[in-house]
Structure 1
Amino acid sequence: MRIRVLLPLLLAPALAACGQDAPAAPPSSESSTAPASSGSPSQPTPSAAEAAGPEPRLAVSYDGGVLVVDAESGDVLLDQPVEGYARLNPAGDGRHAFVSAAGSFTALDLGSWTEAHGDHGHSWTADPALTDVTVPAEEPGHVVAHDGLATLFDDGTGTITVLDPFRIAEGEDPLVDTVELPEAHHGVAAQEADGTLLHTVGDADSRSGVRLVTSTGAELAASDDCPGVHGEAFAGDVAVVGCEDGVLVIDGRQITKVPSPDDYGRIGNQAGHESSPFVLGDYKSDPDAELERPTRVSVIDTRDASLRLVDLPTSYSFRSLGRMPNGDGLVLGTDGALHVVDVRSAEVSRSIPVVEAWREPLEWQQPRPTLRVVDGTAYVTEPAHDRLHVVDLRTGDITATHQLPHTPDEVVATAG
């Protein structure tokens, strides 16, 4: 299987969509057929003002656009119209998010950040804005922020684009690499700073495994023992990708299959932690369900490639997984509570009521309560009432509830 490095990135003024535990939203025919126009990268923010401390902000998608919200006051700082179904992913630099809708990925500057200076930092704010850093894509899929890079996957072409998100604010070209796979598929990829690339293998009809390759395309390791491969997470430097019958653990050049206890035990969404060897995953065991509402999650120990299941008192959705500051798991249940999973004992240790009970909709694009965690704060949407709750995970207290002008869908949060 051959990998080819393409020409440098072209910047275009369109937006796009990204898939998670579902097919990517269909691209706009107008946007996807329009020729991409080259452009210059974003210029450094000229109007930045120093702040007294970090000012966390949120990007919140809704039907027709994206909001940028002050996480503490709830003030709407930007209401950006977006054509088509919009999705959000962190860029990995603590400042930007990627907006996906109608044919591309586009970087959104949330406009707050902190620069470290030895034993202290300086915090800055600026007006949030959609940047001109845009990656054209027929079917924008997964975005993986890892090792200082953002790796974008186009399901429609099998093109992988690697960006350095820290260059965006500096006005530099963020392109690091572009790779084209032999077969397009609903996939995922992640590149290390040394150029080593992990990517899924599949075609339009099926997905079977992963490959680990060097920056020149030489194969370091591969596995085809992962039917329906989907999703990824990192436990430090160790990667975990999901399969319909377990997971693959990729540690250096070693790929280990960890089987599910059931013949069909699908793990398609995972949540990692930079300092924990455990990965939290979902778990579905009914291959014939139109929409399975699972009541178990999986805990993968990457040290010994073991897998344990945890029974929950509720079901959950693919937007329900997160991690506590200490590495424990966090699951937003349809009972309205955040359930803390002790990853060492594989048990629920406590529950934090947040929203009203809800039921997962059949269509994956329909809004449902969504969890996003940054540091020790959980942000939980409640679409039924157009609200967003801020939860202090150390105390379990809801410290703020913000009324939003639109029904919230996806969320990206920054610590400021």
Structure 2
Amino acid sequence: MMKRHMLGSAVVASALLLTGCQAADEATDYDAVGKDEKSAAADDTDAKGHAQELAAAQPRIVTTYDGGIVTLDATTLDVIADTKIEGFNRLNPVGDGRHLVVSVADGFRLFDAGVWTQPHGDHTHSYAADPELTDTVFDTELPGHVVHHGESTVLFGDGDGKIQTFDTEDFADGDPKPQVAEADEPHHGVAVKLADESMLHTIGTEDERVGAKVVDKAGKETARSEDCPGVHGEAAAKDDVIALGCEDGILLFKDGTFEKIDAPDSFGRIGNQSGHEDSQYILGDYKVEKDVELERPERVSVTDTKTNELSLVDLGASYSFRSLGRGPEGEGVVLTTDGKLKIIDPKTASVTEEYPVIDEWEEPVEWQEARPTLFVQDEVAYVSEPDKKKIHIVDLESGEVMAETTLPHAPNELTGVAG
């Protein structure tokens, strides 16, 4: 795993490059900074929302609460903005390091977290501005999963089966235009654009989900599997492999075909997965109680997409669907109800480290209710503790709690942008 002093050196080098470029380029107005290259030294952000140039990228953390969205500095956890929006809100990064979409009644609403980095010759420029809940809404009924894979971002509407595909870099324009397609029938589904520009999406109805298919850019079906009952979620692995969870195992799409990996139990549901595009392993949850209102599992699944082997890892405590993450080297990270982060070596399917972070907790029955949540960005994990209105930063190499803060509201959803 990368050492922190290496990160420090990289930041210093970036700052030196930036200083040299600033001297050469002079000042520019950043009212309309988008994906076009612009450079200059800029003054502090003013009331009009002008951008401030930074010495290096400035990541931010974004969390929801009942009635709003809070944006934090990812290093200090200082509150940057508290944006009001009614109701229970879901957040998904679009993958450009700056924007997220908020699931609202009429679709996906674009949220600008206010930090971004642009290429400029042999170096980059980074900027910060005020976060903004924009007026841009990508219309759909019952907004569902958002998937960023490769150079594309895909939004799936559960209520109308609407699939909206974007070139991720186009979000820099603030109002990108999607390519639109539709699933055969509306259902709680997901879609992924593949490297060859084919589209993989789930198939099913409002009452039953059975599998997935792939269509090429001309709309011709090239692969199909209906051997994935209750298909849910997705994750990407190395070599453009896509994994979908099933009620009896996991379904992989690789090398142009679907391959099913059966669970060791007749009912072995994998509904939530976490991938790493440089790793051949998929981390997933694992449930075996078919009819219970809320199972509290104590095992997770690790799937080797090269060998098609599925292994189970005993954690000694339960977890929730917001507990799974991946570290910088592809290691699994799970936040368990004993208040610890469990670090998993996917090659051996075993727990290698346990880091105590928060108090013991119990998953609420209603999935919308706030519960401790994990978000991993680079070499650190962010862990929320709603009962105490806290967020903690944990160094994944040492387990050290590097910082924590108390928020004005109990955090619910938790994510971030790299800037």
Class of the TM-score when normalised by the shorter of the 2 chains = 0.7 to 0.9
Structure 1 residue 247, shift from structure 2 partner? 0.6
Structure 1 residue 120, shift from structure 2 partner? 4.1
Q: Which residue of 1 aligns with 2:151?
A: 148
SS in 2 for 1:73: coil
1:25-36 matches, cutoff 5 A: none
Structure 1 residue 59, shift from structure 2 partner? 1.1
Gaps of at least 5 residues in structure 2 are 1-30, 35-48
Amino acid at match of 1:342: D
Amino acid at match of 1:196: S
Aligned partner of 1:185 among 181, 184, 187: 187
Structure 1 residue 82, shift from structure 2 partner? 1.5
- Larger mean CA deviation between 174-183 and 154-163 belongs to 174-183
SS in 2 for 1:168: helix
Contact persistence 2:184–2:203 (CA under 8 A): no
Gaps of at least 5 residues in structure 1 are 1-41
Q: Which residue of 2 aligns with 1:321?
A: 324
* 1:113 maps to 2:95: no
Amino acid at match of 1:234: A
Aligned partner of 1:269 among 268, 272, 281: 272
Q: Which residue of 1 aligns with 2:233?
A: 231
The whole-number CA distance in structure 1 between the counterparts of 2:336 and 2:202 is 30
Q: Which residue of 2 aligns with 1:14?
A: none
SS in 1 for 2:169: helix
Q: Which residue of 2 aligns with 1:345?
A: 348
Aligned partner of 2:253 among 250, 254, 266: 250
Amino acid at match of 2:391: L
* 1:89 maps to 2:116: no
Structure 1 residue 387, shift from structure 2 partner? 0.6
* 1:298 maps to 2:264: no
SS in 2 for 1:412: strand
Amino acid at match of 2:105: A
* 1:54 maps to 2:82: no
Identity %: 51
Contact persistence 2:96–2:171 (CA under 8 A): no
Structure 1 residue 277, shift from structure 2 partner? 0.3
Structure 1 residue 67, shift from structure 2 partner? 1.1
The alpha-carbon distance between structure 1 residues 74 and 213, as it changes in their structure 2 partners (threshold 3 A), is same
* 1:222 maps to 2:218: no
Indicate the structure with greater helix content.
2
SS in 1 for 2:187: coil
The whole-number CA distance in structure 1 between the counterparts of 2:53 and 2:32 is 18
The alpha-carbon distance between structure 1 residues 351 and 116, as it changes in their structure 2 partners (threshold 3 A), is farther
Contact persistence 1:97–1:412 (CA under 8 A): no
Offset from partner CA, 1:351-370 (integer Å, 9 cap, x none):
11111110000000000000
Amino acid at match of 1:292: E
The answer to which structure, 1 or 2, has the higher relative contact order (CA under 8 A, 6+ apart) is 1
Q: Which residue of 2 aligns with 1:104?
A: 107
Q: Which residue of 2 aligns with 1:136?
A: 139
Task: Give the TM-score of the pair, scaled to structure 2.
Answer: 0.86
The whole-number CA distance in structure 2 between the counterparts of 1:148 and 1:101 is 25
1:380-399 matches, cutoff 5 A: 380-399=383-402
Aligned partner of 1:312 among 310, 315, 338: 315
The whole-number CA distance in structure 2 between the counterparts of 1:107 and 1:165 is 13
Structure 1 residue 163, shift from structure 2 partner? 1.9
Structure 1 residue 101, shift from structure 2 partner? 2.3
Offset from partner CA, 1:267-313 (integer Å, 9 cap, x none):
00000001100000000001021100000000000001110101111
The number of residues matched between the two structures is 374
Larger Rg belongs to: 2
Contact persistence 2:389–2:410 (CA under 8 A): yes
The whole-number CA distance in structure 2 between the counterparts of 1:117 and 1:394 is 33
- Larger mean CA deviation between 310-319 and 130-139 belongs to 130-139
Structure 1 residue 150, shift from structure 2 partner? 1.4
Amino acid at match of 1:363: E
The whole-number CA distance in structure 2 between the counterparts of 1:82 and 1:208 is 36
The alpha-carbon distance between structure 1 residues 148 and 78, as it changes in their structure 2 partners (threshold 3 A), is same
Aligned partner of 1:72 among 70, 75, 90: 75
Structure 1 residue 124, shift from structure 2 partner? 1.2
Amino acid at match of 1:347: S
Offset from partner CA, 1:246-270 (integer Å, 9 cap, x none):
0111013111000000000000000
Contact persistence 1:84–1:102 (CA under 8 A): no
Q: Which residue of 2 aligns with 1:195?
A: 197
The whole-number CA distance in structure 1 between the counterparts of 2:269 and 2:414 is 25
The whole-number CA distance in structure 1 between the counterparts of 2:315 and 2:365 is 21
Structure 1 residue 191, shift from structure 2 partner? 1.2
The alpha-carbon distance between structure 1 residues 263 and 43, as it changes in their structure 2 partners (threshold 3 A), is farther
Contact persistence 2:284–2:302 (CA under 8 A): yes
Structure 1 residue 83, shift from structure 2 partner? 2.4
